[in-house]
Amino acid sequence: MQHKCSNCHMPFTITKEVVHMALDKMAKKDWDRYDFTCPQCKKTNRVSKEQLLHAAPTWKDEDEE
């Protein structure tokens, strides 16, 4: 998944493995957003659960099964 930093506007890649890890953590803690750090300016970028689910359509919540 590509994400553009809200501060410096540099695009950076979030791998599918990281997206799945973020969704797992969000499901356990009942979060609706996950914070990623920009590799260039080190500022926090919030990404919504909907955006992450769009990037990982095959992800399943382990607690729902």
Q: What is the pLDDT along the chain (65 residues), one digit of tens a residue?
A: 999 999 999 999 999 999 999 999 999 999 999 999 999 999 999 999 999 999 999 998 876 55
User: In terms of residues, how long is the chain?
Assistant: 65
- Residue 36 confidence (pLDDT): 97
- Residue 40 confidence (pLDDT): 97
Amino acid letter, 4:
K
Domain limits, the chain: 8-55
Query: What kind of fold does domain 8-55 have according to CATH?
Result: CBS domain Like (3.90.1280)
Of 37, 10, 34, 6, nearest in space to 20 by CA? 34
- Residue 64 confidence (pLDDT): 59
pTM of this structure: 0.86
> What phi and psi, each to the nearest 5 degrees, are found at residue 51?
-65, -40
Strand partners, 45: 36
